[in-house]
Amino acid sequence: MCNLYNVTTNQEAIRAITKALDRLGNLQPSLDIYPDQMAPIVRNIDGIREMSWVRWGMPSSQQALYQAATKRADKLRAKGKEVDFQELLKMEPDGGTTNIRNTTSKHWLRWTGIENRCVVPFTRFAEPDPASKVEGGRTPNAWFARDESEPLMFFAGLWVRDWECVRKVKEGLIRCDLFAFLTTEPNAVVAPIHPKAMPVILGSEDEVERWLTAPWSEARELQRPLPVSELVLLPERAVGSEPSATHPSLL
């Protein structure tokens, strides 16, 4: 599961590929993006295409939230407390789902239309590498990119507008825009590190356009592994170095 990626680019490079209106404000030259953070995306909204900041993590399924609320209710009842289950369910914290795999499920299928599609700019993404873990230490990340210059690329994503939820207990009930990106089976570059999945990466400007404009029957064909020739495992030394923010995209 990809829960960390980097964006080292500029707004002009994103705009040149996506032809989107720029509503980002200022984009830092380099960003590490973690779950539940605001991140730059390009989305279809109200019949236009715009670059904007959206929170990473789509709504979890009602089943997952129901199960979590049920466990919490059981614990409260075990302590002799009365429970209003519907209120508990409404206020159940949902940290969000960062990666989407089963697009045929009812939960995700409702958001596969053009109006809920987006692309997510990135220059490299990370997967935990258990083989490199030192006993007693944290699991280090392996990083992947198009090549060692880390040019601009895009994940295929979905987004939702004004979703009512509790992301964090201290925030309470809020409404916010949310996004996540699709995953698929890993190619031979990613599989040795993460054998379960890899992000869906759009390998050309044409694929970006298809994802944002094509009917779902066509767009869903893009949920497939990136060819091995278009992705590399970055050398450890490359992860700490930042490529030029003005480096041209290979898209």
pLDDT at 88: 66
Cβ partners under 8 Å of residue 183, min gap 6: 1, 2, 99, 100, 101, 197, 198, 199, 200
Is residue 138 very low, low, confident or very high in pLDDT (cuts 50, 70, 90)?
Answer: confident
User: In the predicted model, what is the mean pLDDT of residues 235-243?
Assistant: 51
- DSSP reduced 3-state for 239: helix
Q: Which residue in 147, 154, 160, 98 sits closest to 121, CA to CA?
A: 154
Residue 245 confidence (pLDDT) above 80: no
Is residue 184 very low, low, confident or very high in pLDDT (cuts 50, 70, 90)?
Answer: very high
Contact 207, 82 (CB under 8 A): no
Pairing of strands 124-128, 141-145: antiparallel
Secondary-structure class of domain 5-59+95-239 per CATH? alpha beta
Token reading at 236: 């450890």
Token reading at 90: 């409404």
Q: Which residue in 64, 47, 59 sits closest to 159, CA to CA?
A: 59
Q: What is the DSSP letter of 173?
A: S
**Distance in Å from the first CA to the final CA of the chain:** 24
pLDDT at 250: 52
Pairing of strands 48-56, 38-45: antiparallel
Q: What is the DSSP letter of 166?
A: B
Is residue 127 very low, low, confident or very high in pLDDT (cuts 50, 70, 90)?
Answer: very high
Residue 162 confidence (pLDDT) above 70: yes
The mean predicted confidence, pLDDT, of the chain is 89
Residue 81 confidence (pLDDT) above 90: no
Contact 68, 92 (CB under 8 A): yes
Token reading at 226: 């990136």
| 51/13 Cα distance (integer angstroms) | 12
CATH 3.90.1680.20 positions along the chain are 5-59+95-239
Q: Compute the residue count for the chain.
A: 251
- Indicate left, alpha or beta for 30 from its phi (over 0: left) and psi (-120 to 50: alpha): beta
Its pTM stands at: 0.87
